[in-house]
Structure 1
Amino acid sequence: MIVVPASLADLPGTWELLVPNAGIASMHTAVTRFNTVVLLDRTNIGPSRKMLRRGHCRVDLNDTVLKRDCYAHSVLLDPATKQLRPLMILTDTWCSSGQFLPDGTLLQTGGDLDGFKKIRKFAPCEPNGSCDWEELEDVKLSQGRWYGTNQILPDGSVIIVGGRGANTVEYYPPRKNGAVPFHFLVDVEDDQMDNLYPYVHLLPNGKLFIFANNKAVLYDHATNQITKEFPPLDGGPRNYPSAGSSAMLALQGDYSTAVVVVCGGAEYGAFIQKSTDTPAHGSCGRIVATAANPVWEMEDMPFGRIMGDMVMLPTGEVLIINGAQAGTQGFELGSDPCLYPVLYRPDQPVGLRFMTLTPGTVPRMYHSTANLLPDGRVLVAGSNPHYFYKFNAEYPTELRIEAFSPEYLGPDRANIRPGIEEVPDTVRYGEAFNVIVSVPLPVVGIIEVNLGSAPFATHSFSQGQRLVKLAVNPSVPDGDGRYRIGCTAPPNGAVAPPGYYMLFAVNQGVPSVARWVHLVS
């Protein structure tokens, strides 16, 4: 392995307080195709700071805190108006998992207690609509899932991987064989249970790259076979509760190559010892998951970090944000918040990829999230390192929602920021289509057209996160400052599973406001 030093440099970026009080601390966050944001917490957290609609209460005689609970534990945020609407969630969603289905419905699975085998759906609607959570009664998980991971597959079904005491995989819609043993999760389990919330990435060859603890395998979900074992990653365990993060870099070109990055984590033993001050490490491993003989390329972030969130930006760069510099995941177990976001620039030479950005002021510790918004900002929410809501603490339960604007949204870039004027609502695999954009200044070079998924963010991993750079032709003037860009949709569901994507036009590193496009077969 080649270990290279990190580069530390300053790059701008601005912070905005979007909502001073969301009413709940968002443990799970997802952006819908209506530009609204679903925020979701546990149900057995005690009183939140947002009431349900009058006459709507959750009754749970097994809840040790509130048997009749009239507080919201999920809300819907409209970032454009900053309005919040309480949602009704009935069963416990503590440390659960999620993924958007091809029709744009959010699938939400598992949790603790009465949510252990539960399947829920949220079919989003216009911001002024009345959509709400639906708890499925006629179908349940084959095995309880607590700390599991969801990933949409090429055919639009969803694989649900692992969970505490669940070393299996299963699918939604359910299949006849139910839960299928997945022995890799047994092999990597340790005293800390570092096989929880495994990192699952769908590769463009249709197989799954699954990482847990410090190891990864290539998994053929069609045959339930492990077809490759990757070399172990140096630096100790990376998954929950050791609190690293992972992202698959943008797919591009002929889509035959997929690169996975795994960054940060706690020192082994920090969770067992309940240590709050053991320094986190800042090592990152990068591997070409589709290579015949892949090896990890190692480098260091500017900061040791646990509980960081890795957000794929429309440009193909990765924002690493939130987290702490010491401790581990778990209630009351993190310290020394890492307030500096870091930009990972994958196309730069090794040793020059990490750039330090403008720091925030709000510690985002355990149970915080980060999600890309269609306007190019990153919504930052949550942080509750306590069993219940607690505000008189060094790191209190955090109800504020912020938005971080990367440098590409700075006023000095406004004259090259493209605006999307026309785009099809629906595109089919392999289809040629046009995107019409307007740009204040004449276009120099190629305008990219990139598809970004809307992942389910929780516990430092964005389930289903994906960025696909489309094949494009040079932009052609279309009159009145408009340009026509010929694009080709992804070839199949392995490159981009069916569903709704944010389509961005990117001019000289500056993204447009996205338009939602439905990718279908």
Structure 2
Amino acid sequence: MDTVVKEKSMCNSNWRRRSATLLLHNIMTLFLGFQLAAFMMSSLMMMQVEAQGGWEVIVNNAGIASMHTVVTHYNTAVLLDRTDIGPSQLPLPDGVCRNDPNDESSTHDCTAHSAVLDLGTNTIRPLFIQTDTWCSSGQFNGDGTLVQTGGDNDGFSKIRTFAPCGGDGDCNWVETDVPLQNGRWYATNAQLPDGTQIVVGGRGIATVEYVPANGRGTTYVPLIADANDAQNDNLYPYVHLLPNNQLFIFANQDSILYDWQTNTVAANLPTLPGGPRNYPSAGSSVLLPLSGFNGWTDAEILVCGGATYGAFLNPGAAIPATQSCGRIAPLDANPGWALENMPLRRNMGDMLLLPDRNVLIVNGAANGAQGWGNAQNPVTTPVLYNPNGAPGTRFQTLTATDIPRVYHSTANVLPDASVLIAGSNTHQFYTLTGYLATELRIERFSPPYLAPGAPAIANAPGELAYGAAFTATINNGNPKFIDLNLLSAPYSTHSFAQGQRLLQLETAAPAAVGGGTYTVATTAPPSSVIAPSAYYMLFAVSNGIPSQAQWVHVG
């Protein structure tokens, strides 16, 4: 009996030990499992964050807050602010000073209000500019010269040029002697197929004119008149050159087709619902990519964001921004706007065509409007828009930045397919402390497509004649398909990239030449209507990943 009890006791003791050991094992397994799961979740989150892009400050103090930014074919960026803000943080060299009796802030100024950023070294070289470029406009000519028009005060009627040069050059601004026919402030420039530029609108100016003047004079356009709008929400009109050689011009909530050759309105288009979309209630706009695969005919316009009417008139009210986008095919027989909502409300956003033919929406605020002190709640999260996605699936949020960019911010695509982000000054003068201080840092945003396995353009012509066949040699491409896309270098200011366009060339299937290298046969754009003569960035895109661009001259 005792033996039986003893055996039972030993059995129970062994069972308890085994149970305790098993329990401890299970606890440890569960703990390790939780740790593994947490690690995997953390890794997955890190992978997701990596997959949503990344930010890097490349210049800690540019000296100026760039409200106008362009990228040149010398792989530099021209930064431009207004001149009547008093001293900037960037001194002019060798004791050079600007003497201007008309300047409202400083008649003797020894600091720069424009600069060149070398994209290879991230170094800044100050530039000298004499007249006030506040809220001016610009565009590249066919030879790569930047033409810059208008501004405030003594810059109201000025035409300036900048012929870019390499990193060791001394190129600078030139103030021309030929004035604008109508002085302009808050206007928009667009390059035309004949090599001239049209300059559209401006505060109190409801006309268009041409630079250089080509005999067509100035013409009144009712769309850009501001008589019936207390906010003047028709400034910085959205202007896009269409494949039928007409201009799409959008102001406030309305748009027209404009025949620039006869200076007449060819058609009035439907009103876009959702409130005003132009400065000071600015959203943004792009002409979606044109493609040689459909004969360059499928033109669509996208307009996103804006401010609720009244936000500009009531700057302290923090009125919510617009969340909707409108999309229209203006050359259709019966065009109409299709609406969809962005993930976030946004005004003052910049919209950029990326080399993979998606659209980036970046910068801006969720409340208020453009103007000094009007913006609240910066939107630091970029959004990606896929034009070819199904409605309801087109938007994707990306990694946020730590630096708010509101009024007077800019965004430009760079030759390495990243995005240059500069500016932000919601104050009348440079205010380097406090809420939404003047921002002198420059960032580079790397979209999600910047990943290992990028193709490389080994060889492509530097000059493309209209309609000419050519072959590009691509390393590390997809043997089934490689995109060749031409991207212009627009003038970015006040939430609109003037002159922006992306052209998808019609390509044949890649031909293997060995060692992971392929040749791709294609044809240059057929005319200056599709591709106004200029320097473009040629990107090869394989598996959704763009190459470093090669600059090519078209025309």
Q: State TM-score, norm by structure 2.
A: 0.90
Alignment partner of 1:182 is 2:221? yes
Equivalent AA in structure 2 for residue 84 of structure 1: I
Give 5+ residue unaligned stretches, structure 1.
1-8
Q: 1 or 2 for the larger relative contact order (CA 8 Å, sep ≥6)?
A: 1
Deviation at 1:276, TM superposition (A): 4.9
Aligned to 1:423: 460
Q: 1:142 aligns with which of 172, 181, 185?
A: 181
Deviation at 1:121, TM superposition (A): 0.3
Q: Is this contact kept in 2: 1:188–1:194, CA < 8 A? A: no
Q: Is this contact kept in 2: 1:472–1:486, CA < 8 A? A: yes
Deviation at 1:437, TM superposition (A): 1.0
Alignment partner of 1:358 is 2:369? no
Give 5+ residue unaligned stretches, structure 2.
1-47
Q: Which structure carries more strand by proportion?
A: 1
Aligned to 2:552: 517
Alignment partner of 1:246 is 2:285? yes
Alignment partner of 1:219 is 2:258? yes
Query: Map of 1:115-514 to 2, 5 A cutoff?
Result: 115-137=155-177, 139-186=178-225, 189-252=228-291, 253-410=294-451, 414-415=452-453, 417-439=454-476, 443-514=478-549
Q: 1:46 aligns with which of 86, 108, 133?
A: 86
Q: Which structure carries more helix by proportion?
A: 2
What SS does the corresponding residue of 1:240 show, helix, strand or coil? coil
Cα-to-partner distance string for 1:37-80 (whole Å, 9 max, x where unaligned): 00000000111100001131110112232111100000000121
What SS does the corresponding residue of 1:409 show, helix, strand or coil? coil
Flag the 1:171–1:292 CA change in 2: closer, same or farther, 3 A: same
CA–CA separation in structure 2 for the residues paired with 1:485 and 1:40: 39
Flag the 1:273–1:24 CA change in 2: closer, same or farther, 3 A: same
Deviation at 1:343, TM superposition (A): 0.1
What SS does the corresponding residue of 1:404 show, helix, strand or coil? strand
Aligned to 1:104: 144
CA–CA separation in structure 2 for the residues paired with 1:50 and 1:189: 42
Q: Is this contact kept in 1: 2:356–2:545, CA < 8 A? A: yes
Q: Is this contact kept in 2: 1:503–1:516, CA < 8 A? A: yes
What SS does the corresponding residue of 2:303 show, helix, strand or coil? strand
Residue identity (%): 54
Deviation at 1:187, TM superposition (A): 7.0
Q: Is this contact kept in 1: 2:204–2:226, CA < 8 A? A: no
CA–CA separation in structure 1 for the residues paired with 2:191 and 2:316: 36
Question: How many residues were matched structurally?
Answer: 505
Of stretches 176-185 and 216-225 in structure 1, the one that deviates more from structure 2 is: 176-185
Equivalent AA in structure 2 for residue 247 of structure 1: V
| Structure of higher CA gyration radius | 2
Aligned to 1:69: 109
CA–CA separation in structure 1 for the residues paired with 2:289 and 2:443: 26
Of stretches 472-481 and 204-213 in structure 1, the one that deviates more from structure 2 is: 472-481
Cα-to-partner distance string for 1:353-410 (whole Å, 9 max, x where unaligned): 0100000000001000000000000000000000000012210000000000001103
Q: Is this contact kept in 1: 2:226–2:233, CA < 8 A? A: no
CA–CA separation in structure 1 for the residues paired with 2:181 and 2:214: 10
Of stretches 139-148 and 266-275 in structure 1, the one that deviates more from structure 2 is: 266-275
Q: Is this contact kept in 2: 1:145–1:162, CA < 8 A? A: yes
CA–CA separation in structure 2 for the residues paired with 1:321 and 1:67: 36
Q: Is this contact kept in 2: 1:188–1:215, CA < 8 A? A: no
What SS does the corresponding residue of 2:64 show, helix, strand or coil? coil
Equivalent AA in structure 2 for residue 160 of structure 1: V
Q: State TM-score, norm by structure 1.
A: 0.95
Q: Is this contact kept in 2: 1:257–1:291, CA < 8 A? A: no
Deviation at 1:26, TM superposition (A): 0.2
Cα-to-partner distance string for 1:416-439 (whole Å, 9 max, x where unaligned): x11011111101110000111101
CA–CA separation in structure 1 for the residues paired with 2:119 and 2:535: 19
CA–CA separation in structure 2 for the residues paired with 1:275 and 1:146: 25
What value does the CA root-mean-square deviation take over the aligned residues? Answer: 1.2
Deviation at 1:444, TM superposition (A): 3.9
Of stretches 473-482 and 333-342 in structure 1, the one that deviates more from structure 2 is: 473-482
CA–CA separation in structure 1 for the residues paired with 2:164 and 2:317: 39
Aligned to 1:81: 121
Aligned to 2:3: none
Deviation at 1:178, TM superposition (A): 2.7
Deviation at 1:479, TM superposition (A): 2.6
Of stretches 23-32 and 222-231 in structure 1, the one that deviates more from structure 2 is: 222-231
What SS does the corresponding residue of 2:302 show, helix, strand or coil? strand
